[in-house]
Amino acid sequence: MKIGIQTKIAGLITVPLLAFIVMAGISIKSDWEQLKIAQKTLEGTELFASVSGAVHALQKEREDLLLQLLDRRTAKEMTTQREVTDRMLSELKVKMAQHEFGSKGKTVLAGVSDLSLLRKSVDQDGISGEAFDRYNHLVQSLIGFEVQVAHRITLPGVSSSLISMNILEQSRESADQLRAMLLPVLLANAPLSTLTFSRIERLHSD
């Protein structure tokens, strides 16, 4: 059974956060300051989880586009995944609106806003190398944004744990990109038709 990103993050921060609250109780004078740090930690980890959820949804949407090359995804399935992605991105935008992230945050939001245009291009012209690269860029910008979110957390142990998760996320994305490029060939399980070959050729040559 797969464990959701929210559950993984909750497991990572529970021990250091509880230890922090216990230590804060020892010093009544600094209770308010400690409470604010704990609150910011919770908000930061929720935002990190939201970013990661959006990353996973976009990765799945990108993979579905490639599976469509072999007619392994129906229009209904594609629409369903896009709805999942939209929901995750909507939640992310709400959480980001509560913080100020400067140019990095604006770049992420701009990429999210351009997703509808990217989808329209794919629907009209089919998946291409350029479209694939645009999906990659959006995913990578979100993964990079995770680092900025993690660095804002000052509670010892939590920030480093989230950064470790981000390193794994980067490795997973590199593997996903390689697998996605090979997916149409690996799943064909038969000689490629002229149409399928031309689709794959277009994907790799654009």
- CA nearest 147: which of 163, 131, 123, 168? 163
- CA nearest 99: which of 156, 50, 166? 50
User: Is pLDDT of 80 > 80?
Assistant: yes
Share of the chain above pLDDT 70, in %: 71
Mean pLDDT of the chain: 79
Residue 12 has a CB neighbour count (10 Å cut-off) of 18
pLDDT band with cut points at 50, 70 and 90 for residue 198: low
pLDDT greater at residue 100 or residue 31:
100
The Cβ-side half-sphere exposure at 1, using a 13 Å CA radius, reads: 4
Q: Which of 64-68, 70-74, 89-93, 159-163 has maximum average pLDDT? A: 89-93
* Per-residue model confidence (pLDDT) at position 32: 65
Are 135 and 61 in contact by the 8 Å Cβ rule? The answer is yes
pTM comes to 0.76
Residues 6+ apart with CB under 8 A from 165: 8, 9, 12, 48, 52, 146
* Per-residue model confidence (pLDDT) at position 28: 47
Sign of CA dihedral 116, 104, 62, 205: positive
pLDDT greater at residue 71 or residue 40:
40
The Cβ-side half-sphere exposure at 92, using a 13 Å CA radius, reads: 28
Are 41 and 167 in contact by the 8 Å Cβ rule? The answer is no
Query: Whole-angstrom Cα distance, residue 2 to residue 27?
Result: 40
User: Is pLDDT of 206 > 70?
Assistant: no
pLDDT greater at residue 201 or residue 109:
109
Which of 28-32, 48-52, 146-150, 165-169 has the weakest average pLDDT?
A: 28-32
User: Is pLDDT of 41 > 80?
Assistant: yes
Region 90-102 average pLDDT: 89
Here the tokens at position 22 are: 């216990």
